[in-house]
Amino acid sequence: GAVVSQHPSRVICKSGTSVKIECRSLDFQATTMFWYRQFPKKSLMLMATSNEGSKATYEQGVEKDKFLINHASLTLSTLTVTSAHPEDSSFYICSATQGTGYTFGSGTRLTVV
């Protein structure tokens, strides 16, 4: 079946630094990828939708300059949290679709200290 690989699974960074999270579709071409985040005891919330070769579409309240999304190829999307702060600490997870269903990555636990 379709597999999505997400790295890293855990990352701890200092406040003010940037962190990049990768999401790769291993055995299919993902026309669209999605980024979600989940704060403790909260629902998974969609952050942005990215289509290969075009700018990402961000949900209301998500800062596009802070959460940079690049979807340069059909198998890779990256999320960069710029100038991370402790309030950005969360569980980030991607999903990918080739138009007939979607597959989730294993998630990234980001802790900003």
Residue 72 to residue 52: CA distance in whole angstroms? 6
Q: Which of 80, 79, 112, 72 is nearest to 95 (CA)?
A: 79
Residues 88-107 binding other proteins (CB under 8 A) are: 93, 95, 97, 99, 101-107
Taking the mean position of all CA atoms in its chain, how far away is CA 78?
6
Q: Kindly state the number of chain residues that form the binding site for other proteins, as judged by CB under 8 A.
A: 25
Task: Report the nearest approach of other proteins to the CB of residue 51 (Å).
Answer: 11
AA identity, residue 24? R
Residues 28-67 binding other proteins (CB under 8 A) are: 32, 34, 36, 41-46, 49
Task: Please tell me the total number of residues recorded for the chain in this structure.
Answer: 113
Residues making contact with other proteins (CB under 8 A): 6, 9-10, 32, 34, 36, 41-46, 49, 93, 95, 97, 99, 101-107, 109
